[in-house]
Amino acid sequence: MNHFRAVLSLLPRRLRSPSWLTVTRTCPSVSSMEPVVVRCSPGEPKLTISFRLDGSSKHMQRELDEPLSKALTRISNGIIKNQGKAKKKKTKNEAEEPESPENSTVKLLLDGSEVSGELPNSEAWQDGAVLQVGDQSFSVSRNPPTFTTAELPVSVLAGFPVCPKLEVEFGNLEDCEFTWFKENFSRPDAGDGPRHDSPWTEVGRSRVYVPSNQDIGHRLKLVCTAKDGGRTGLAKELVSVSTVEAGPGVCTCDNRHQYTMREAEWPTMRVVSYNILADIYAKTELSRTVLYTYCAPYALELDYRQNLIKKELAGYNADIICLQEVDKAVFVDSLVPALDAFGLDGVFRIKEKQHEGLATFYRRSKFNFLSSHDIMLSEVLTSDPIHSELLQKLSLSVSLKEKMLQRSTSLQVSILEDRTKPGRKVCVANTHLFWHPTGGNIRLFQMGVALKHLNHVISEVAPGAPLVFCGDFNSTPSSGVFQLVRETSVPQQHPDWSSSGPSESCNMELLSGFPPLLSACGEPAYTNYVGGFNGCLDYIFIQPGLMKVEQVIPLPSHQEVTTYEALPSVAHPSDHIALVCDLHWVP
């Protein structure tokens, strides 16, 4: 085992996010010889050779086209040098004359025959070859399936899925094997008990584990073995730093999950739109002391909220998920590992000047990702000629134009192809419009740019594709934005044109360029519920001629939302409520 630990310690490792912390140990595969791991990645100019000899780690990089003989000589010289150092040290300690280092014969064998020293390293170091160093033999494992990242989350709650962050090189996560264990006893530092390692009991054999109440107070251990088809690589052992803690009990999503226990069947797709509340906003002093004073401080912590978010999203069994206010680190370290385990791939669009953005996930068994056409709305307004007319009208108000161009609002656009019916595409759009209560005029311009861009993308790359437009539009059903989408135009008399005062009034008629769109989930009383405000701000817009609504998942009851006064709470991770609906392709 010590040999394997040392070998893996020499392989490249990735930096860990502070949101993840795991005690990691390495376990060996069954083998009659100690391994020498050879990593030869396509596109890289060198290969690495790693093994342990006499308690010392050997690790070297060699050119691919270098003759094998030079690599073997380098190994031999290194061994002789180390032997000399060891004997000098012994001589000094024992006051004896130094002895000459012993010669160390180093050979590489394949199928019992010595490999020619003239062969380049790229060809010589084959899987299954044997490296002989004196009287010791090492089995060559070339590009074995290897976990480059394997970590458990810090916070583990009973009733909530534990999704390890995993990345594998030369392997396939779907082929890998996973075994979960729990400690039979509480950790020694948790109270009275024996001061030694506790034995473990197996509790699961899947990539994701949901702890039960019986696991509370116990640490978890995951043994994961990297594989690629029939090839088996090294295993890693992960032990959670913290013990399993009690969950909050009933969450606002639990009753909703009764409607989404199974995936939607083709030709139906399940769509989710959800502002998950970025950590950079939740952890501010303003949030804790003004906006969300009713929320328990621990319930605003990212690790806690991520448990709730992952459980909620996994339970919807969605085919398309559009998220807003996604911290970049949350996307990479939490959402991607979790949703990948449930069959979804994702793309991310950062909001310029911010550390949060938009994320769109899609079920890979149902969709192929074809292309993305993301934009920053203010940027294309001045750079893309298709928006020249809108820019000209905006320029009539210098101060309003300045405000508009300062906004970093983005539009994420993904073209997906139906895998069941190749050639059939859907345009999935995701956005989060300007938030300020007096920003109705800015939101109108933002929506005008977004719709123009979407019209252009569909006509150019996916003619006839239906539009599914998700987001936090920060617009109530009485707003100009909602009227633009539902009625295809906004008249110049609409009050939103003067929302920030007469000096920034920009009265004009704005056309959507689309037929009337439908709010798939209707007009709920609210999708955002905080201490000082509640209202409907989030929508999933569709083209009724190309998509029809098959099912709308009921929102949490008012009693559920207000159990802890408002949102977020210990039972709900965001100040918004997810919209969930089943949409049916229209033939």
Beta bridge partner(s), residue 397? none
Return the number of other C-beta atoms located less than 10 Å from residue 54's C-beta.
Answer: 12
AA identity, residue 441: N
Name the catalytic one among 472, 538, 575, 582: 472
User: Tokens at residue 131, please?
Assistant: 């490296």
Q: How many CB atoms lie within 10 A of CB 40?
A: 17
In residues, how long is the chain?
587
Query: CA angle, corner 190, sides to 188 and 191, nearest 5?
Result: 80
- Please state, as a whole number, how many other Cβ atoms lie within 10 Å of the Cβ of residue 35: 21
Write down the number of H helices and E strands in the chain: 14, 31
Tokens 């012993």 belong to residue: 102
Q: What's 512's DSSP letter?
A: -
DSSP string, 406-462: H---EEEEEEEEESSSTT-EEEEEEEE----TT-HHHHHHHHHHHHHHHHHHHHHHS
Token pair 């010889």: residue: 33
What is residue 532's DSSP assignment? T
Do residues 119 and 67 make contact, with C-beta atoms less than 8 angstroms apart? Answer: yes
- Give the Cβ contact number of residue 148 at 10 Å: 15
Which of these, 259, 154, 325, lies nearest to 555 by C-alpha position?
259
Distances (CA, A) of 542 to 213, 322, 334, 467: 42, 14, 29, 6
Active site residue 472: yes
Q: How many CB atoms lie within 10 A of CB 563?
A: 16
According to DSSP, the β-strands at 538-542 and 467-472 are antiparallel
Cα–Cα distance measured from residue 439 to residue 12, given in angstroms and rounded to the nearest whole number? 49
Spatial distance between the Cα atoms of 231 and 170, rounded to a whole number of angstroms? 10
Cβ(311)–Cβ(211) below 8 Å:
no
Question: For 489-520, b where at least 16 C-beta lie within 10 A, e where not — what string?
Answer: ebeeebebbbbbeeebbbebebebebeebbbb
Q: Which residues are catalytic?
A: 472
